Amino acid sequence: MKTLIKIKTWKCSECDYYQDFEPTTENMDKNFNDPNQRLRKDILVVANECPSCVTKGIRNTTLAKESNPNKKITLTIMGEEDIEPEIIKDDEEKTKEGKPKMTNPQKEAYRTKRKADIVSAISEARKLEDK
């Protein structure tokens, strides 16, 4: 069964922009002001400022923590029922490419790994959950 987790979300007071990280100076620098992530060469986004509005030339708009659970960003984590379709798809792709399909022991190892991946993903997502 898929797991849905509502995470901490910040929303612009002026537009429909949402983000899933706290708008601190450090986070805004990392996500928007790093030379490789820069929105525009001529602007920097400051703490609590909406990066979407900044790109439109609107300054001093603020990001606030979203309190409405229906508007928070939702992470969807696959369930164990999604593993078998992955195996089938892999077999189909290998058949098209003329490669050997996974053996039964390989499939079992894959299932075990994916189940562990799901448990790990849920654990990591819970750290972001907004309770």
Q: Supply the range of the domain harboring residue 70.
A: 3-74
Same domain, 70 and 83: no
Q: State the amino acid at position 92 in one-letter form.
A: E
Q: Which two tokens stand for residue 32?
A: 């928007």
| Residue reference for tokens 């992530």 | 37
Q: What is the pTM of this model?
A: 0.74
Please indicate, yes or no, if residue 131 is contained in any of the structural domains: no
pLDDT digits over 33-92, tens only? 877 766 666 778 899 999 999 888 898 899 999 999 999 999 999 999 999 999 999 999
Same domain, 98 and 51: no
Q: Residue 39 has what pLDDT? A: 63
Model confidence at 31, pLDDT cuts 50, 70, 90, reads: confident
Q: How many structural domains are present in the chain?
A: 2
Q: Residue 112 has what pLDDT? A: 98
Do the Cβ atoms of 65 and 12 come closer than 8 Å?
no
